[in-house]
Structure 1
Amino acid sequence: MASYDVIFIGSGPGGYVGAIRAAQLGLRTACVEGRETLGGTCLNVGCIPSKALLHATHMLHEAEHNFAEMGLGGGKPKVDWGKMQSYKDDVIAQNTKGIEFLFKKNKVDWIKGWASIPAPGKVKVGDDVHEARAIVIASGSESASLPGVEVDEKVVVTSTGALELGRIPKRLAVIGGGVIGLEMGSVYARLGAQVTVLEYLDRLIPGNDMEVARTFQRILKKQGMEFILGAAVQGVEATRTKAKVSYTLKKDDSAQTLEADVVLLATGRRPFTDGLGLDTLGVTLSKRRQVEVDGRYETSVKGVYAIGDAITGPMLAHKAEDEGYAVAEILAGQAGHVNYATIPGVIYTHPEVASVGETEETLKEAGRAYKVGKFSFMGNGRAKANFAADGFVKILADKDTDRILGAHIIGPMAGDLIHEICVAMEFGAAAEDLARTCHAHPTYSEAVREAALACGDGALHA
């Protein structure tokens, strides 16, 4: 029986970051992981492999649509799906092995297997029981199910199966117009598939700025993706080679069907806590089976903590990382804190979509007076030179104080540009602070400055 200061259950972004930070702070630390490789869903079947495929297919799009205009010849590129899969797998291996190296470097023990918590302070893995002063549940999430839809990961797939299809489908039906569905739909649309997205709501990417959502849908439609909004999926009939999606249009209650070679179920995710024994242990769960925690991430059972997708909040890898970092510091006697108001969200299509803080909709609902500074990438020299002028930057600031309340970007490198605004918000900056900060020319970031200027006297290049 081994004894530790802290054991993290799960080696995803929350678990591995928390474990490394705890070890850096002098705590004897272990991390339990049942996969053959570290990194959790994110590195193995989520963030990293999907970004590899998004990058590869964006390069294909550039070659097919923009190379000739830049004077680059050589003919249309051929897609070697097997080679693209190998490239993706190599990217996964480099990242997961990197985590293994970091564990060894920081003296974090990897306990291989699936964990349960038979009692406070005890973690059972296989036949072994390990003791720990603190246990942190960082078990992540799994794809949410939908009544009438049975997943086989071949014809009816989750994001996991979508990353490793045996062939590129001619017709792909995507159930769900959120981040995962649009990213994977974008991959296969670039590869030549006829992609149709069915979304229950009357809009895409719920929770995001409405103007961004409308612009995003228009751009994706121009790229060849089709959308059926207000579609309530009733079920999927699948054979070995194809499937038929049955759905009802909410606007007129009419029954419809859609045939496809592959159906991607992308209706969100739910906490993965099966097998941990939380009900027996007495850990309080919400109606959505999320682990309830206090301000220090401690559950209703003393000494048992939880972070990441297992608890409430956006299911984002970087949110889990921040919580892992924070809980490690708390366990080491430090403050440990996460500012949830400055956690960005990103969709890695092309163009990218990024957001942080309030939307116009949430500010109106709260009755808060605000002003909008907006700048189109059509006015950005770098974007026009790179065939990336679709989209805009929108900054929301308090009407009286000019303090930045939120920002929304759809355009090139939006996922990187948003962080300048995150830092500004972290320091309580005003839009004028951004506007008066010199930005290198020519860069995409100038669009951020222009949007900040638009919160005042007006953008210079609009």
Structure 2
Amino acid sequence: MTEETQLAVIGAGPGGYTAAFLAADLGLRVTLIDEAPRPGGVCLYRGCMPSKALLHAARVVTDARAAAAWGVSFGDPTIDVARLRAWKDDVVAKLTGGLALLSRQRKVAFVQGRASFEDAHALRVAPTGDDAADGVRTIAFEHAIVATGSRPTRPAALALDDPRVLDSTRALDLDGVPGSLLVVGGGYIGLELGTVYAALGSAVTIVELTDSLLPGADPDLVRVLARRIAGTVHAVHLKTAVNGLAACPDGIDVTLEPAGAAVRTERFDQVLVAVGRSPNSEVPGLVERTRSELDGRGFIRVDAQRRTAEPSIFAIGDVAGEPMLAHKAFAEARVAVDTIAGNAASFAPRAVPAVVFTDPEVAWCGLTEAAAAASGRAVTVARFPWGASGRALTLDRPDGATKLVLDPESGRVLGVGLVGAGAGELIAEGVVAVEKGLTAADLAGAIHPHPTVSETFAEAAEVFFGRSTHVYRPKRR
């Protein structure tokens, strides 16, 4: 028997459940399909939320140790890994349970199973949960949205089948705290998880193939983070390749090849491979039985409405291209559903914010200083150091900065970069400024609350005019 629905959504992560809920709110009959028992996807089960829970715990440990300098001593923190893991799992359970409730309230039909395309208007769903005995279901749809997300990448040289070699999913399980941990990859995933394990007591070594941590971020922001990381981890090796892993009884032997230096072998208790993610675009039948196409990197090709080459099928989130970020998927979901509902919509953001939840946090949006230089675009950069922020000093975190990338003539805000405690919360003002075409005068003229770190936006804007109260700069001529 064939079931019928107006919209079938494959994948119940941030993009998928957002699309399903919005479509239901607009009156469509919706079927949401996922291999997990409840909505949430990688973000809730194996990514954003569990990692942020553990990063919060890591920050508490770090702050407790730092408080001794203020005359407040707690003693050395004791880590109960089992209780910490249980708390993290409880956070995930509450979030996924909440989404399941919202799905029922909206009368979204949730199907636990693995979907494949029969053609441009039909799916076969093989059950993966407790109702597996019910057999394969056929679902006919008017439109479908593919939101199948991504998975950790594992290069062949690092594909050792050993439980001591972790990907980000395994690292978030927090089975224990190794004495020594090698993190392969200095991007946001490696740095966030390295921050957690270092705070919990591991001797963490970070290896990055390029000449900088966080490739793609502006170097001045990264330098602030790099200085602090150097004091919390065992070692950081840049311009270093990992050419092989070998298991031995008391660890993993890692072959390291630094640029311009001799190859050497080091031993670690565990290795975390965090070199990127790959799209889950291998949905059976998607390419073979519809007109949908993949690009050279494995992403599903979509237009500005997130429609594939098959008019009835859309794709959103990680599977539809970079940046692989949950909030980008949220926005794409709205565009796809509005288009399906007959409303005019287009995905053309000026600013998709990126946040690295390390300590300090790094965040940016819009045009970066490095990208402007690479393209030859003339910009003016206005920086405000947090050492001149009263609130940052009261937090004992003066090691941050706020910078605006501005059009030199109009003062329009083209991009924003932040580094410092809470940068991930502060970047929202930058996103609004870039998206709405605000100028330095707009930011400087808006009264910001005092004392807050948010004031640094107004102060940085005033730097553009050479009149910042707390930082002296020559006046603009």
TM-score over 0.5 for the pair: yes
Q: What percent identity do the matched residue pairs reach? A: 37
Superposition map of 1:26-37 within 5 A: 26-37=27-38
* Cα distance between partner residues in 2 of 1:94 and 1:47: 14
> For residue 41 of structure 1, what is the aligned residue in structure 2?
42
* Cα distance between partner residues in 1 of 2:427 and 2:297: 31
Matching of residue 233 in structure 1 with residue 242 in structure 2: yes
> For residue 474 of structure 2, what is the aligned residue in structure 1?
none
* Cα distance between partner residues in 2 of 1:74 and 1:294: 55
> For residue 2 of structure 1, what is the aligned residue in structure 2?
3
* Cα distance between partner residues in 1 of 2:255 and 2:147: 36
* Cα distance between partner residues in 1 of 2:232 and 2:440: 34
Q: Aligned AA for 1:13?
A: P
* Cα distance between partner residues in 1 of 2:147 and 2:214: 26
Shift of 1:426: 1.6
1:323 to 315, 318, 332: 332
Shift of 1:275: 4.2
Do the aligned partners of 2:184 and 2:207 also contact (CA within 8 Å) in 1? yes
For 1:341, what is the secondary structure of its paired residue? Answer: coil
Superposition map of 1:50-449 within 5 A: 50-66=51-67, 68-126=68-126, 127-150=136-159, 152=161, 154-239=163-248, 241-252=250-261, 254-281=262-289, 282-449=291-458
User: How many residue pairs get matched?
Assistant: 460
For 1:116, what is the secondary structure of its paired residue? Answer: strand
Deviations 1:97-118 (A, max 9, x none): 1111111122211111111112
* Cα distance between partner residues in 2 of 1:403 and 1:251: 44
Do the aligned partners of 1:156 and 1:238 also contact (CA within 8 Å) in 2? no
Do the aligned partners of 2:5 and 2:31 also contact (CA within 8 Å) in 1? yes
Shift of 1:241: 4.9
364-373 vs 269-278, greater mean Cα deviation:
269-278
Do the aligned partners of 1:4 and 1:132 also contact (CA within 8 Å) in 2? yes
Q: Aligned AA for 2:279?
A: P
231-240 vs 92-101, greater mean Cα deviation:
231-240
Do the aligned partners of 2:361 and 2:419 also contact (CA within 8 Å) in 1? yes
23-32 vs 224-233, greater mean Cα deviation:
224-233
Note the residue ranges of structure 2 that are not aligned, 5 or more in a row.
127-135, 472-477
Do the aligned partners of 1:344 and 1:354 also contact (CA within 8 Å) in 2? yes
Do the aligned partners of 2:160 and 2:245 also contact (CA within 8 Å) in 1? no
Do the aligned partners of 1:372 and 1:395 also contact (CA within 8 Å) in 2? yes
* Cα distance between partner residues in 2 of 1:337 and 1:100: 29
Shift of 1:274: 3.0
Q: Aligned AA for 1:274?
A: E
For 1:166, what is the secondary structure of its paired residue? Answer: coil
* Cα distance between partner residues in 1 of 2:300 and 2:104: 30
* Cα distance between partner residues in 1 of 2:214 and 2:116: 35
Shift of 1:391: 1.5
388-397 vs 293-302, greater mean Cα deviation:
293-302
For 1:425, what is the secondary structure of its paired residue? Answer: helix
Q: Aligned AA for 1:210?
A: P
Inter-CA distance 369–172: structure 2 relative to 1 (3 Å threshold): same
For 1:292, what is the secondary structure of its paired residue? Answer: coil
> For residue 130 of structure 2, what is the aligned residue in structure 1?
none
For 2:287, what is the secondary structure of its paired residue? Answer: helix
Q: Aligned AA for 2:467?
A: G
Do the aligned partners of 1:230 and 1:251 also contact (CA within 8 Å) in 2? no
For 1:112, what is the secondary structure of its paired residue? Answer: strand
Shift of 1:60: 0.9
* Cα distance between partner residues in 2 of 1:259 and 1:409: 36
* Cα distance between partner residues in 1 of 2:181 and 2:251: 10
2:468 to 456, 459, 462: 459
Deviations 1:164-194 (A, max 9, x none): 2321011110111100000000001111211
* Cα distance between partner residues in 1 of 2:379 and 2:251: 50
Inter-CA distance 340–247: structure 2 relative to 1 (3 Å threshold): farther
* Cα distance between partner residues in 2 of 1:108 and 1:326: 19
Q: Aligned AA for 2:104?
A: K
Q: Aligned AA for 1:12?
A: G
Shift of 1:36: 2.4
Matching of residue 11 in structure 1 with residue 12 in structure 2: yes
* Cα distance between partner residues in 1 of 2:270 and 2:349: 37
For 2:159, what is the secondary structure of its paired residue? Answer: coil
For 1:115, what is the secondary structure of its paired residue? Answer: strand
Q: Aligned AA for 2:393?
A: K
Do the aligned partners of 1:382 and 1:443 also contact (CA within 8 Å) in 2? yes
TM-score, scaled relative to structure 2: 0.94
Shift of 1:153: 7.1
* Cα distance between partner residues in 2 of 1:363 and 1:275: 38
* Cα distance between partner residues in 1 of 2:219 and 2:397: 21
Do the aligned partners of 2:224 and 2:399 also contact (CA within 8 Å) in 1? no
Shift of 1:415: 0.6
> For residue 21 of structure 1, what is the aligned residue in structure 2?
22
Shift of 1:273: 2.5
Shift of 1:24: 0.9
Deviations 1:339-362 (A, max 9, x none): 432110000111111000111121
Deviations 1:320-353 (A, max 9, x none): 1110111111111112233432110000111111
* Cα distance between partner residues in 2 of 1:362 and 1:74: 45
* Cα distance between partner residues in 1 of 2:69 and 2:406: 40
For 2:142, what is the secondary structure of its paired residue? Answer: strand
84-93 vs 329-338, greater mean Cα deviation:
329-338
Shift of 1:76: 2.5
* Cα distance between partner residues in 2 of 1:190 and 1:8: 39
